[in-house]
Structure 1
Amino acid sequence: MNDVFILYLAVQCILPQSQTTPEKCLSNPWHGKGFCEPNQYKSSIDRCEGGHKSCDLSIEIYKELVKVLEHCSESLHQWSLTSQRKIVQSKEFGTTRAAWIESIQAVEKLAERNEDITKNIQHHVIDKMVAYKNSKYERSFLHLKKVKEFEKDFKKVQKPWLELLNKINEAKQEFHHASRKLHHAKRAENVIKTDLGTTDEQKKKVKDSVHHYESETETCRSTYSKLMEDMKAKQPGYQEEMFKILSRTDDFERDRLNQFKLMFNALQEAISIENDARHTEMSDLFNKAIGKHNINSDIEYFNKHYGRETKTKWPVFEDVHESCHSL
């Protein structure tokens, strides 16, 4: 059972993540929280810091693709040579043999097309991404300086907001604590009122206690409410300032994402067959090879050399010569 569960988890890990996949299923400690909440700005800082890793990943992935294409080209060349040798050594002949060999050679053009694609991917995808990465990230002190500026600005805007939130939290705790003490005092007063043996002094004491906690609770409520009103007044300005910095980080990332779009377009162009000269060349070679294939000619050739047009030596009656009788 455990092995099945582990296998299930492994499969889930390698399933493609779509746009609808909840981020909470991924490794993201900031998912599900508002950006203006304490320290949530670190999600944008992490995005800016991690951009170069995506660049490295893209370079790694397409280098692997180049290796796959190179291996495919080598395999195609080897397959072509081996196949042609087998055809030559076979019993096939005439136009069929020629068309077969030349069609194999036409297929081999796929290897040359792969080589063209490989060069295009290397030049227009990998080299361009390497150059971009070097210009944007390799001078790491400039990149880090920019990210640190973002973080510094976020902290500067959020510092007074965090102080206000701390005051609100403290005021809330004091208000709730005072409210609980008032509740206990009122319960004690109700108990005293129903107790016939209670003295006037005791009644006065619990009544004074209720008045004291009512005053304390009201003071705490007022402080708490005032801080909440203060927060509501400052909230739009705080949010605006936070979003201004966020927009700057968006622009910083937009530059990298634009580079990725260029990479996707370059990859599409690199493997497109619409304007591929090799595709036309392969088609011409196939047409020529197929055009050489003359079935009637091969049948006639076979009949001429092996079939109906050959002269068969039929058996004839051979009499015994006199010389044979003398023996």
Structure 2
Amino acid sequence: MTGNGEFEDQICSNGSSFWECRAYQRTVKRVDGANKLCSELCLMIQERAELEKAYSSNLKKWSARWLSFLDSGLEYGTGSCPWRGLCKEAEAISNIHLNVRNILLDEIQTGLKHWQKEHFHKSSLPPQNLKETKQFDQDFELAQKLWAKRLKRAHCTKKEYYQACKTERSLQVQVQNAKNDPSGTAEQNGDKKSTRCTGSYTIQLEHKKLKKIQEKLAKAEKDVQRTRNAYKLAIAELDTESARYVEEMTKVFTRTQDFERERLCFFKETFNNLHNALNVCAKADYDSIYNELAHSISQCDIESDLQWWSVNHGVDMPFVFPRFEEYSPELAAMSHKKRGTIIDHGLPVTLTNVTTISSPVDRHSTVTSTNNSEHNDVRLDNGVISSPNGPQSVIHTPFDDKASKMSTPPPTTTSADGDGNDEVVSSGACDSEVNDATYDDGRPGVKVRALYDYVGQEDDEISFVAGDVFDKLEEADDQGWCKGRKDGRAGLYPANYVEVLHKEDP
């Protein structure tokens, strides 16, 4: 007999309804997800605060540098006013963004951490799971315990009843065969290779065997009636328990919904506070950005989210009560005839569109291959970029130090090809996976002509029509596919769809 844990796991895997055994685990794990969301939102706010601080610091450095430049006296008279005005504007913007950083950390992030600490409590002993998760899990398990026990009882009695019906039907067939064939079948007679019985002795022996089978049939009929009654009784007990089960499970689920509603309300309030803190610019071209953010926050409908969860993972899901199902020999026989789908990968490729080539010369297609040379820009030591369009100057900013570290290209290695030319190979290219089917190394191929039309079914296949001429790069594999190149693109095609062109062929 299947253990209780294995039976519950089987129920969970077969049905996704909230009312199945231990299917409430998704709702319980939502509490763990809420705690993780709080931590991730804190990290998100922390990173944004660091960006605001870095921007403020760079603005101050930029302002101090150009104020120092003005002290040299190179710009004179009222011409220095615009310079100093730009520096003062940078200091003002710097103070604003520094204030944003302080609000993000001192008010919003601190409040979020405090709320998380009040609503989520970890156990003192390893593995330090959330107490709220454990409590909800225990409450759901207690509400489901008796119902799950009776459901298991109904499942077992159903299995016993079906097995008794199968045994009864098998014995009925044996009795019928024994009555129709007095000599008995090979299975009923046993091993009688050398034993031969005469007349009356054989008839008496067959009567005894028939009587034994009939006795087994009578016992099987009693088992069918007994297991049938037990199955009906188990279903009746399950129906009696279902009302209480629904009520208790709904109570616990409502508590989880209230807990999640509180988190959603707090998150919406936090997002509104973030919007107010970040909306520091009153320029017309910035209004659209912050108005769009405000609109996205206003679309947060808490009740709609909770209702969606209830419909898809909660008490509003359909509750199908187990009902008595009569045994059907036809369905039982059909279940033994199921076979897995067998895929024979060795079958040849089926021709989908066969076209006769009347004039191969008229159907030739020109194979073109273009090799585009890549021009790499070279940064010189004097801060000038050499490119095909001419040298370009580079303006250094206070962000160059960080930007250069973040955007440093991967190291390259230099190798010489057969002509003595250096070839630069990026180490990043070695890490990426190359699709062998579509990778073209530029090597020459063997000219082939298409005999039939073929339309590629996958991304790594090439298409052609009868009469097209293209290159074959590799011989056919054990599956009957060749690698070729057509119109500058490499891919796979069926080997028996083409023929090799000889020099005398047009």
Q: TM-score range by the shorter chain?
A: 0.5 to 0.7
CA contact (8 A) 1:30 1:43 kept: no
Task: Please name the residue that 1:162 is paired with.
Answer: 148
Letter in 2 for 1:47: R
Task: Please name the residue that 2:228 is paired with.
Answer: 221
Change (3 A) 1:213 1:30: closer
CA contact (8 A) 2:121 2:130 kept: no
- What TM-score, normalized to structure 1? 0.64
Q: Distance in 2 between matches of 1:153 and 1:60?
A: 33
Q: Distance in 1 between matches of 2:224 and 2:72?
A: 104
Q: Does 1:80 align with 2:63?
A: yes
Q: Distance in 2 between matches of 1:94 and 1:35?
A: 79
Change (3 A) 1:31 1:262: farther
Task: Please name the residue that 1:121 is paired with.
Answer: 104
Letter in 2 for 1:167: R
CA contact (8 A) 2:108 2:273 kept: yes
By how many angstroms is 1:275 displaced?
A: 7.2
Match of 1:152 among 130, 138, 142: 138
Q: Deviations over 1:46-86 (max 9, x none)?
A: 33355433323322221222112111111111122334555
Indicate the percent of aligned positions where both proteins have the same amino acid. Answer: 23
SS of the counterpart of 1:33?
coil
Task: Please name the residue that 2:172 is paired with.
Answer: 186
By how many angstroms is 1:165 displaced?
A: 1.6
Matches within 5 A, 1:167-316: 167-198=153-184, 199-273=206-280
Q: Distance in 1 between matches of 2:14 and 2:217?
A: 46
SS of the counterpart of 1:234?
helix
Task: Please name the residue that 1:325 is paired with.
Answer: none
* Worse-superposed segment, 242-251 or 30-39: 30-39
Task: Please name the residue that 1:44 is paired with.
Answer: 27
For structure 2, list consecutive stretches of 5 or more residues without a partner in the other structure: 1-11, 185-205, 287-506
Matches within 5 A, 1:314-325: none
Q: Deviations over 1:130-173 (max 9, x none)?
A: 222333346968x9665554333322221111210221121122
By how many angstroms is 1:30 displaced?
A: 9.1
Task: Please name the residue that 2:440 is paired with.
Answer: none
Q: Distance in 2 between matches of 1:211 and 1:88?
A: 116
Higher strand share: 2
Which of the two has higher C-alpha Rg?
1
Matches within 5 A, 1:52-91: 52-85=35-68
Q: Distance in 1 between matches of 2:167 and 2:259?
A: 53
* Worse-superposed segment, 42-51 or 70-79: 42-51
Change (3 A) 1:84 1:248: same
Letter in 2 for 1:175: Y
Change (3 A) 1:146 1:100: closer
Q: Does 1:35 align with 2:18?
A: yes
Letter in 1 for 2:38: C
Letter in 2 for 1:128: G
Letter in 2 for 1:52: N
Q: Distance in 2 between matches of 1:31 and 1:64?
A: 43
CA contact (8 A) 2:122 2:131 kept: no
Q: Deviations over 1:262-299 (max 9, x none)?
A: 211111111123779xx9xxxxxxxxxxxxxxxxxxxx
Name the Cα RMSD after superposition: 3.3
Count of residues in Structure 1 that have an aligned counterpart in Structure 2: 248
For structure 1, list consecutive stretches of 5 or more residues without a partner in the other structure: 1-28, 280-327
By how many angstroms is 1:233 displaced?
A: 3.6
Q: Distance in 2 between matches of 1:217 and 1:139?
A: 54
* Worse-superposed segment, 186-195 or 68-77: 186-195
Q: Distance in 2 between matches of 1:30 and 1:118?
A: 48
Change (3 A) 1:106 1:145: closer
By how many angstroms is 1:197 displaced?
A: 1.7
